[in-house]
Amino acid sequence: MQLPAFDEGKYNFFDVSWKAPMDTVSGITEWSRDINSVYSLTTIICTLVFFAVAIPLVITLVKFKQKPGDDSPPKQFHGNPTLEVLWTVIPVVLLIFIAVPTWRVLFKHSHVAEGSLEVEAIGHQWWWEFRYPQNGKIITASELHLPENTPVHFRVWSADVIHAFWIPKFGGKTDANPTSFAEDGSPTRWNEINVVTPLLADKTKIHGEMYQGQCTQLCGSSHALMRFNVVIHSKEEFDRWAKTAYTPPKVETTLAQAGEQVFARCQACHTIAGTPSEQIPGVKIGPNLTNFGNRKYLGAGTRLNTPENLAAWLREPSSIKPGSLMPAGLVNEEEIAQVSSYLRLATAKSY
């Protein structure tokens, strides 16, 4: 199936299906439904307060307007203990009505459920990296794979500036903050999100395939293009995906072989499992490309992963993501064809 890029979709404000991928109120997880229940309660209370203030205000403006020919000053008075107590107590009571369910939701979702899948979501300028510490060395970028109906514990942090991790259909967001690292390379600071993933059968995926995620903290020139996609699998399919997600590329053609040689120049910034690029330690500046051939989109979820779009990216990354840290002109046209064949075909795996 040919998928249009998100940019090409026509979004309808009133449509809560896939046409509104950033819709937050349709509540497909318990977490998002709980957040929306607090949101609805707050909206109802604020609406009542608005009318409780606005209606007497309008009545007062009309009723006590200065009459023609009446030049006497209005009646003067100072202090009204009854009113002062009332307009102190009423807001306090209203805030308690908002605070109690807010705390209830916060505490309910702040503990890590037993059997949670651990995922590290790492913000970079301008793309997301995902690691699965329970599943060996799986690292992927811009495409988050999750099993259906499973508790997931996200640890969210940043490799550079402050980003924010958000899957609108799943629920709330949290900041990805820069961190220092312990001796074993693990981060010393992170934020957390706990969510039970939706069922595979959920119909609100974009084109029936994926959910959209987005960085929501202004983090530089391509902040708005810092997207990612969420693919939900059945539990069996997720296990198969996890088995193949960090396997070496299968180089089967001479074109791809030549591409493999070209890729050797890319390995200071990019990693592909089972190649020498893996030996270079530290957090790489560019996305992990191990399963690039399986990804629907490139450029942090903004363009379809087609040979044309990949070539455009390699020629001039900034034409797709302004300010991209990857410079233009790293490869010539012949090398683009070679490395494109390597990246798109050799790293594609069936699962």
Q: Which is nearer to ligand CUA, 175 or 202 (CB)?
A: 175
**Contact track, ligand CUA, 106-135, x by CB under 6 A:** -----------------x--x---------
Does residue number 300 form part of the binding site for ligand CUA (CB under 6 A)?
Answer: no
Does 227 bind ligand CUA (CB under 6 A)? Our answer is no
User: What secondary structure does DSSP assign to 181-242, as a single string?
Assistant: B-TTS-BS--EEEEEEPPPTT-S-SBTTTBEEEE--S--STTGGG-EEEEEEE-HHHHHHHH
**Is residue 223 a contact residue for ligand CUA (CB under 6 A)?**
yes
Binder to ligand CUA among 105, 121, 144, 219 (CB under 6 A)? 219
Q: Return the residue of 119, 121, 167, 226 that touches ligand CUA, per CB under 6 A.
A: 226
Angle at 108 between CA 105 and CA 111, to 5 degrees: 135
Residues in the chain, total: 351
230 and 210 Cβ atoms separated by less than 8 Å: yes
CA nearest neighbour of 142 among 298, 290, 348, 18 = 298
Q: Is residue 31 at the binding interface for ligand CUA, with CB under 6 A as the rule?
A: no
Cα–Cα distance between 83 and 93 in angstroms, integer? 15
Pick the piece of the chain touching ligand CUA (CB under 6 A) from 8-16, 47-55, 210-218, 244-252: 210-218
What is the full DSSP assignment across 32-60?
A: HHHHHHHHHHHHHHHHHHHHHHHHHHHHH
Instruction: Candidates 14-22, 29-37, 219-227, 339-347: pick the segment binding ligand CUA (CB under 6 A).
Output: 219-227
Task: State the number of binding residues for ligand CUA (CB under 6 A).
Answer: 9
Is position 217 an interface residue for ligand CUA (rule: CB under 6 A)?
Answer: yes
Instruction: Give the closest residue to 351 by CA, choosing from 115, 130, 138.
Output: 138
159 binds ligand CUA (CB under 6 A): no
* Residue closer to ligand CUA, measured from CB, 223 or 303: 223
What distance lies between CA 33 and its chain's CA centroid? Answer: 18
Closer residue to ligand CUA (CB): 217 or 271: 217
Whole-angstrom Cα distance, residue 339 to residue 337?
6
- Binding residues for ligand CUA, rule: CB under 6 A, are 123, 126, 163, 215, 217-219, 223, 226
